[in-house]
Amino acid sequence: MNEGTRFRIDDGRIDWVEAAGLVVTFEITKAFLVFPEKIAKEGLTAAWTIPLVSGLLASLFIWVLVVVSKAHPGMNLIQITNYLAGPTVGFIAGVALYLYLMIIIVTGFREVADVLITVYMPLTPLGFFLASAYAVVFYVAFQNTETLARISVLTSTVVVGMAIILAALSIGRYNTDLVFPPLGPGLIPLFKKYGVRQSIYGEFLSLGMIAAYLREPRQVGKVAAVSLGISIFTFTLVVLTCQMVFPIPSLLRVSAPFLRVARVIKLGRFFQRLDSLFVFVWLGVSLLQAAVAIYLASLVLATVFHLQSHKPFVVLNVVAAYFGSWAIPNLAAALTIAFDLARPYGLLLLDIWPPTLLVLTLHKKKQLREGAGGA
């Protein structure tokens, strides 16, 4: 092993539950705003099947990632790439992952800010809101893996629980006829979407980074299975709920459907205005997601540049993310960048990178076996 690539960023150790919490928080936060509308545009009445089938397809690549991580315990994805393909390829892959993470933060947080300002804080300037929020993100991202992972367990539980509660309270408004016709745009277009929209699981690349911090490296498979299961369930639940409340023509127009669902829950005189609960939880988890993303992006840079700590990059990344979020002209532009550019192309990272590493791992093992046999 090339010891030069296997340095340690001493950032604490986490168990599999904390790792799953971290991945789930990073992955599912995007489900609660424009996500259902974007998915509905592609899948029409069959929209709810997109996160489900795409998730199952993505599980193949995530499984490959798990196999690669298991084969290299204690190393993150970039360290593995450095080790198997050399520092140049590792550098390129690291930069690609870094850019992907930064685009996710920048567009995702702009989406959060825009919806919040539109609905609840119309007079607050965008720059001020972003500065306040990124100040918190900076503070949280400055913590180590252990701290972030522990708080993620709490937030992921709360946010998934909240999604289930809101979906359950909306049952009175469900109309099952609205998920028909069952094939939406047609079989062939639908299968194309299943392929492309594996990209919604792109955040699972974070698993390759945090696997290095697992107390039991062999439990990375468990982390992947649990977090993928929770993510598929949450995405499908959110899209299905929105679909059964808003018929397809309306769902294609509404900009934050799940928030609107929360705003129409009315159970008697005293059980309404549940959106206040929703917004509180959602804002909290969005801040944490941004902090996790900044942390991971910083970790990627620290690995690429062989630093022992991610902290020097946190300041840089927060400043870059702030100006990035601020520079995007509006919500529509943020969504175009995220859903139509970054995610589809980011899919290449998930679909090519881990399988390539798997091939190289197998090749390396074969070489080592042959070397040992020859000796």
Partner 1 sequence: MKLGKRFLPAILLFALILTGCWDKVELDDIAWVQAMGFDKGADGQILTTFVIGIPRLLQGGGGRGGGGGSGDGSSGPGPHHTTVTVQSKTVIEAIALAAINLGRRLSLQHTELYLFGEELAKSDIRFIVGAIDRYREVRGSAYIMVARPRAEDVLRVDVSPLEVSPSRYILTLAQQHMQTGLFETVFLVDFVNSLESEDDFPSCPIISLSRSFKQEGSTESGKGGGGGGQGGEGQKGQQGETQFPPTPRVGDRIQQPGLPPGLSGPQGGPMFLEGGQVPRVGGGPVEAMGTAVFRGGKMVGDLNGEETRTMLMVKGDFERGLFAVPDPQVPDQSQYSLSLDMRGRKTEVEVNRQGDRVEIDVHLTLEVSYMSMKTQSDYTDPRMEPLVEKAAAEYVKKNLDRAIMRTQEMGADVFGFGRRLRRTFLTWPEYEAFAWQSKYPQAQIRTNVEVELKRYGLDFGPLKVTPGEKLQESQ
Contact set with partner 1 (CB under 8 A): 44-45, 118-125, 128-129, 132-133, 135-136, 139-140, 143, 147, 150-151, 175, 177-178, 180-186, 246-250, 253, 260, 263-266, 269, 272-273, 287
How many other β-carbons are positioned within 10 Å of the β-carbon of residue 2? 11
Nearest residue (CB) to partner 1, 266 versus 369: 266
> How far out from the chain centre does Cα 158 lie?
17
DSSP one-letter string for 45-111: GGTTHHHHHHHHHHHHHHHHHHHHHHHSTT--HHHHHHHHH-HHHHHHHHHHHHHHHHHHHHHHHHH
Taking the complex as a whole, the smallest distance from the CB of residue 277 to partner 1 amounts, in Å, to: 15
Contact between 14 and 144 under an 8 Å Cβ cutoff? The reply is no
Nearest residue (CB) to partner 1, 4 versus 127: 127
Taking the complex as a whole, the smallest distance from the CB of residue 81 to partner 1 amounts, in Å, to: 32
Distance CA 194, CA 22 (A): 25
3-state secondary structure of 272: strand
Nearest residue (CB) to partner 1, 78 versus 288: 288
Nearest residue (CB) to partner 1, 56 versus 121: 121
Nearest residue (CB) to partner 1, 276 versus 367: 276
Taking the complex as a whole, the smallest distance from the CB of residue 240 to partner 1 amounts, in Å, to: 16
Contact between 61 and 351 under an 8 Å Cβ cutoff? The reply is yes
Nearest residue (CB) to partner 1, 188 versus 372: 188
Taking the complex as a whole, the smallest distance from the CB of residue 204 to partner 1 amounts, in Å, to: 26
Taking the complex as a whole, the smallest distance from the CB of residue 130 to partner 1 amounts, in Å, to: 12
Taking the complex as a whole, the smallest distance from the CB of residue 270 to partner 1 amounts, in Å, to: 11
Nearest residue (CB) to partner 1, 2 versus 118: 118
Taking the complex as a whole, the smallest distance from the CB of residue 239 to partner 1 amounts, in Å, to: 15
Q: Which two tokens stand for residue 366?
A: 């074969």
Residue 267's φ and ψ, nearest 5 degrees, are -115, 85
Taking the complex as a whole, the smallest distance from the CB of residue 32 to partner 1 amounts, in Å, to: 17
Nearest residue (CB) to partner 1, 6 versus 263: 263
86: left (phi over 0), alpha (psi -120 to 50) or beta: left
Cis status of the peptide bond prior to 312, with omega within 30 of 0: no
First-last CA distance in the chain:
18
Distance CA 280, CA 282 (A): 6
